Amino acid sequence: MKNRGIITLTTGCMYCGKTQELLRRIDLEEHAERAVQVFNHTNDDRYGPGMWTHKEGIGYKDAIMVSTAKEIAMKIKSDTQFVAINEVQFFDDKILGLIEELAIKGVNVSCAALDTDFRGEPFHFKDSESTIGNLIALVLGTQGELMYQTAICEYREGGKICGKPATRTQRITNGEPANYNEDIIVPGAKELYEPRCFEDHIVTGRPTSNF
């Protein structure tokens, strides 16, 4: 029986180093002289085509820009041994089946994704009830590797940065915390987002729960 591939997922808030970890894994695979293909979602075009970290000049310029799971499936080569997919949360939920199918065929798959949106809620795949939680279940259920990373909370009060481990992505709209009813997907970088800890994460207009 053919050996099955290993699925790895690096997740967390913005600026926690997800893409850096994906680049590290790509570098290892290429150093081992394996056939590698790298995909990035077209929503992530903040720094131009390819796949780039928030640190200037660090990335993978040959990443293939795609917008659906089907596009990835159509571009996979028969001899590919390792597939890297960045910004998985932007894809449709067919990405789940594609990742599992690649692993069944013996391809190692490494992904990077936000676990929650700016509201602090599980990130939904495009037009779907499925979330990154479904991908986490797939990784664990196939005995893959799950890496949860944190950033540093950048909330400032009295001129001092908080500095606690950040697990949430804070969206800033016109200098103020974003409203719950804003669009989920608004691509941006430091001008719109910063990492926050749970205590300092603010979402205005959030519906209240009655217990």
Which amino acids are annotated catalytic?
87
* Cα 29 versus chain centre, distance: 20
DSSP state of 121: S
Tell me the C-alpha distance between 70 and 59, whole Å: 24
What H or E segment, with its residue span, contains residue 169? strand 168-173
Among candidates 12, 64, 34, which has minimal Cα distance to 168? 12
Nearby residues of 211 by Cβ (< 8 Å), 6 or more positions away:
none
CB 118 within 8 A of CB 170: yes
